[in-house]
Structure 1
């Protein structure tokens, strides 16, 4: 359920703070039939990039002591 403006509930309220960070792209090779090792390797590369992006920007976002938890 959204709780935005009364007439436009899908828009955030003006007092809301939305911060978006975009990291560098990851060049992935095209592998027609990837093995489990290929998938595990590229998943690890992605997760490392995500962790790095989080760690580099968490203080600026106002959460310097935050830990990224991926479920």
Structure 2
């Protein structure tokens, strides 16, 4: 699964729009749209940190990076 698909899956699971996620984490909506539409294949470390540092999305950090989950560290998949 591509990172673009993972980002969309997290938003879908959390029931938030692109605008809401961007407002919560401090990303521009155009940046997120580029990531989700795969126009920008590599996500910047700064953008990724903004997403996974937010309390709402922290539980998806491992899954966003690797596609893996870890029950011991409370890392989950939105699927």
- Between 1 and 2, higher relative CO (CA 8 Å, sep ≥ 6) is seen in 2
- TM-score, L = length of structure 2: 0.26
TM-score (normalizing by structure 1) = 0.28
Q: Which structure: greater helix fraction?
A: 2
